Amino acid sequence: MQVVRNLGHIKAQQRRGRVFTAIGFVGLAGAFVLVWWQRQIPSLVLVAYALMLFGFVFFNIGLQTMGKFISNDRKRRPDQQLDKSLERLNDRYTIIHFAQLGKRNVDHLIVHNAGVLVLTVREVAGKIIVDERRWRKGGNPLGRFLNYSGPQLGNPSADNEADQAAVRATLAEAGLPDLVEGAIVFTNPLAEVSGSAPIDVLGDDELLEYVRTQANDRERPALGPKERQAVIEALSQGPELELVTQRAERRSKKAA
């Protein structure tokens, strides 16, 4: 499997996360200073509350961004997690991370024999309810508030539709076939999704087989090698691209 990664986007988001966290911290610290000063100047209390809200929002947005784009020994980024889950795919598959298509960065897409699969990844845990295109987290509202700095659910359906639209526009501009589909992937094993959606919803452990099934469906029109390479080149967009080839693991045959 080939992996194309937009390192420029990753680095930019890492910087953004650090800046937002720093701004939020300064805002929170300033709010505490104003709370102290308001003993002498009571009118500062409203400014302190406003600054505290500002700092809280920026600090948590920064933590969310850093949680998504910074990896360490204990945690992989979503793109690294997908690479690991799909490492057994052969060289007929190419996964592109954070492609910059027009004004939109499409997080993850896979080019295979039957077209392009656009993946929307979520790392959230717990109960998740979907009703067609409406998504919400289950559980205690207080718990969701306290987890504001962690991975967020948002609306995966809307995000996937917007990503597919960006991919289709790019392919149409290049005069290439519009063979685009989407899926939503929950990588956290503690995620429990219930309900129905017009798009396929998968767990991380289901992804490999799902991708293979999509690529090998004989009822779908197939891309030839030259067409597939043209699609890869059209979608591999970004300021600093990294190309890595992962060799599919070979399983040793058991002795009879």
Q: Are 62 and 23 in contact (CB under 8 A)?
A: yes
Residues 139 and 63 in one domain: no
Q: Please tell me whether residues 19 and 78 are part of one structural domain.
A: no
**pLDDT for the residue numbered 145:** 58
In this structure, what are the phi and psi dihedrals at residue 200, rounded to the nearest 5 degrees? Answer: -65, 135
- Which of 52, 69, 86 terminates a domain? The answer is 69
Tell me: do 45 and 81 sit in the same domain. no
Q: Please tell me whether residues 33 and 79 are part of one structural domain.
A: no
Q: What 8-state DSSP symbol labels residue 204?
A: G
Full residue range of the structural domain in which residue 105 is found: 74-245
Domain-located, residue 80:
yes
- Note the pLDDT tens digit of each residue in 201-234: 999 999 999 999 988 887 778 888 899 999 999 9
Angstrom distance (rounded) from CA 111 to CA 245: 14
pLDDT of residue 251: 44
Q: What is the reported pTM? A: 0.84
Computed over every residue of the chain, the mean pLDDT equals 86
Contact at 8 Å (CB) between 79 and 97?
yes
* Domain-located, residue 255: no
Residue 221, class by beta-carbon neighbours within 10 Å (0-12 exposed, 13-18 middle, 19+ buried)? exposed
Assign residue 186 a region: left if phi > 0, alpha if psi is -120 to 50, beta otherwise?
A: beta
Do the domain assignments include residue 99?
yes
My answer on whether 57 and 78 are in the same domain is no
- The total of structural domains in the chain comes to 2
Question: Do both 28 and 106 map to the same domain?
Answer: no
- Band of residue 38 on the pLDDT scale cut at 50, 70, 90: low
Which residues of 36-137 form beta strands (DSSP E)?
A: 94-101, 104-112, 115-122, 126-131, 134-137
Higher pLDDT, 233 or 256: 233
The residues, any chain, with a CB within 8 Å of residue 135's CB and separated by 6 or more, are 128, 129, 153, 154, 155, 156, 157
Return d(Cα 256, Cα 254) in angstroms, integer.
6
- The answer on 94 and 59 residing in a single domain is no
Residue 48: band (very low, low, confident or very high) from pLDDT cuts 50, 70, 90:
confident
If asked whether residues 220 and 157 sit together in one domain, one would say: yes
Q: What is the mean pLDDT of residues 46-71?
A: 85
**pLDDT tens figures, 100-117:** 999 999 999 999 999 999
- Report yes or no on 132 lying in a domain: yes
Going by C-alpha positions, the residue among 83, 75, 45 that lies closest to residue 211 is: 83
Residue 122 sits in the same domain as residue 92 = yes
| Opening angle at CA 145, ends 138 and 159, nearest 5 | 65
